[in-house]
Amino acid sequence: MIQADRLRDDLLALVQIDSLSKHEGRIAERLTSELRALGAEVEFDAAGKRVGGEVGNLIAHVPGTADAAPLLLCAHMDTVEPGIGVKPVVEGDIIRTDGTTVLGGDDKSGIAIVMECVRVCRERGLRHPPLEVVFTICEELGLLGARHLDVERVRARRGLVFDSDAVGMVFTRAPGSNHLDVVVHGRAAHAGMAPEEGVSAIQVMAAAVSRMRLGRIDAETTANLGVVRGGRAVNIIPDEVVLRGEARSHDAKKLEAQCAHMLACFEEAAEQFPGARVSVTIETSYAAMHVSDDAPIMRLVRAAAKRAGRSIESAGMGGGCDANILNQRGFEVVNLGTGMREIHTTNEWLKVSDMVAAAEVTLATIELAADA
């Protein structure tokens, strides 16, 4: 029942709509029109105002044909840079970027799958529960849309998030993440005439980073410093360096320990250089996600995969997504793979056949939820 050509064409149209974080207005307008044409009631919450974006989270209510608990279907509308002027290239079953931008399959593959399943339900008159479609904003900025979602507008409390790569995988575990903002303070001086009077913030930073555990810490924990800014001119001893980083772990105690280690590295480095100091702010971005393999939503997805003749496995992933936030806010959701590959790079690609497989499992989940 899933129409592969329509699914492909919908994805191609969606990825060519620019929708960087906080600029999701155009894609939201298109999706609103299509959902209303399918008989859905569409509304937006105030998340856009809270984050300074063009539009809030799109929340659509698709009437059910069975008296059953509503099912949530969630994907995010925003994409990362470079994501302006996407020109997709079709090579048989594969859709890829032309090498100048990301493709935007993260997460427009998820949106296309949701939209195809809603279309099939309405066109075929399938028996299905009420569907609550939520397309969030600003996921790529730290799950901001899900964080500010007006949950009172959403009746469903179980469902699927579509925001991961491997088809045939349903992700039930994801790490929690802490965000670090660091300012290293030194003392400015003329680099040629009086370097002894200065304290190089770059040198202090280097001393800290050289002793820091970064990258893969263990099977559950990672850490990264991803942004560094500092210095004014080559003839001035730099008096300030700003860093932004993160730590992630499936284990809350390990996450706390890694952040404490990173803080200690900066503080100890500052002590090496008289006159230097550091300020470090550590904030929780989102908590870890762990949905039991025996949870009702997992039993439903496994039964759906069997019905669709597809294999499915549960697993953990290294990244966070809207599912992290939603599971903390009273929902029971898991993250279904859509087939997007090499995301956040200009080499991004996916297979239409993988999207079809994910859509078939999704459609079977919707149908089985009518009796669950």
Mark whether 361 and 225 lie in a shared domain.
Answer: no
Catalytic-labelled residue, pool 10, 24, 78, 354: 78
Indicate the residue among 261, 286, 311 that finishes a domain.
286
Mark whether 153 and 298 lie in a shared domain.
Answer: yes
Domain of residue 98, CATH code:
3.40.630.10
Mark whether 144 and 11 lie in a shared domain.
Answer: yes
Domain of residue 258, CATH code:
3.30.70.360
Q: What is the pLDDT along the chain (372 residues), one digit of tens a residue?
A: 999 999 999 999 999 999 999 999 999 999 999 999 999 999 999 999 999 999 999 999 999 999 999 999 999 999 999 999 999 999 999 999 999 999 999 999 999 999 999 999 999 999 999 999 999 999 999 899 999 999 999 999 999 999 998 889 999 999 999 999 999 999 999 999 999 999 999 999 999 999 999 999 999 999 999 999 999 999 999 999 999 999 999 999 999 999 999 999 999 999 999 999 999 999 999 999 999 999 999 999 999 999 999 999 999 988 889 999 999 999 999 999 999 999 999 999 999 999 999 999 999 999 999 998
Q: Are 89 and 96 in contact (CB under 8 A)?
A: yes
Residue-wise DSSP of 245-279? EEEEESSHHHHHHHHHHHHHHHHHHHHHSTT-EEE
Is beta strand 58-62 parallel, antiparallel or unpaired with respect to 41-44?
antiparallel
For the question of residue 360 being annotated catalytic, the response is no
Mark whether 354 and 316 lie in a shared domain.
Answer: yes
Mark whether 281 and 355 lie in a shared domain.
Answer: no
Mark whether 221 and 101 lie in a shared domain.
Answer: no
Mark whether 117 and 223 lie in a shared domain.
Answer: no
Number of H helices, E strands in the chain: 10, 17
Mark whether 103 and 10 lie in a shared domain.
Answer: yes
Catalytic-labelled residue, pool 139, 239, 348, 354: 139
Mark whether 96 and 148 lie in a shared domain.
Answer: yes
Mark whether 29 and 147 lie in a shared domain.
Answer: yes
For the question of residue 140 being annotated catalytic, the response is no
Indicate the residue among 225, 260, 286 that finishes a domain.
286
* Pick from 243, 264, 252: nearest CA to 221: 252
Distance from C-alpha of 133 to C-alpha of 275, rounded to nearest angstrom: 55
Mark whether 78 and 210 lie in a shared domain.
Answer: no
Q: What is the domain extent for residue 182?
A: 176-286
Indicate the residue among 260, 286, 312 that finishes a domain.
286
Mark whether 22 and 133 lie in a shared domain.
Answer: yes
